[in-house]
Amino acid sequence: MKLLIKEWKLCMHPTGYLMLLCAALVLVPGYPYTVSCFYMGLAIFFICLTARENHDAAYTLTLPVSREDAVRARILFCTALEVFDLLMIGLMVLLKGAIGNTPNPAGLDAGLALIGEGMIAFALFNMVFFPIYYRDINKPGKAFGFAAAAMLALIVLEIAATYTVPFFRMLDTPDPQYLSEKGLYTLAGLALFAGGTAKSIQMSRKRFAEEDLSL
């Protein structure tokens, strides 16, 4: 818990708060709503960039903590931001349903399945970004480049799937239509989010343990 507080006080970047507001893009007609998750990924990049500029790794490892603890705290802190972002998206979905939910031609409609898609997007980001980042913490831009490409590819595939894949055409409907299918999809997204994040912690801890920080 103390390391998580340290992450918030010393590494949090203003974009972390700003990108939470991007959940309101769900209210914009004809917008690919999963892009709001991409913006949170951008905020995580800025958090890691701020940590580099402030020599956070050198400071953290002077504390009575291990490298594994440092990695776990950073990833869990960023995962907490992702969870808050998903909650904000959920609130925007409810708000849009209350004021009038219109079909979205650019990907999934605002509904339960969108939350599951957001979880999948964050799982993909975590599995790509953090293991690359912890191979060399001085190059967060490289890690973000790969993670951003993966997320954007997922968004493009999502949009295409809503026109071509029957299952996604069911998901791309206003709630409460096909609610059981959407619920299963969201549960699958939750499992992937939890499992993918745990895997990213495991891989990142191993790579950071091997990194030479004296360079």
Q: What is the pLDDT of residues 142-190, one digit of tens each?
A: 999 999 999 999 999 999 999 999 999 999 998 889 999 999 999 999 9
In a domain, 10, yes or no: yes
* C-alpha to C-alpha distance for 139 and 48, rounded to whole angstroms: 9
Query: Rounded CA gap, 175 and 180, in Å?
Result: 10
Q: Judge contact between 143 and 132, C-beta under 8 A.
A: yes
Range of the domain at 7: 2-210
Residue 137 lies in a domain: yes
**Cis amide leading into 176 (omega within 30):** yes
Whether residue 156 is contained in a domain is answered as yes
In a domain, 37, yes or no: yes
Structural domain includes residue 94: yes
Do the domain assignments include residue 215? no
Low-confidence ranges of the chain (pLDDT < 50): none
**pLDDT confidence of residue 6:** 92
Examine residue 186 and state whether it is found in any structural domain, yes or no. yes
Domain count, the chain: 1
Query: Which pTM value belongs to this model?
Result: 0.94
Q: Kindly tell me the sign of the dihedral angle through the C-alpha atoms of 211, 75, 19, 170.
A: positive
pLDDT the model gives residue 15: 94
Q: Distance between CA 9 and CA 55 in Å, rounded?
A: 14
Q: Which residues contact 81 (CB under 8 A, 6 or more apart)?
A: 16, 20, 40, 43, 44
Predicted confidence at residue 11, as pLDDT, reads 92
pLDDT of residue 4: 92
Core vs surface per residue 91-110: b (16+ CB within 10 A) or e: ebbeebeeeebeebebbbbb
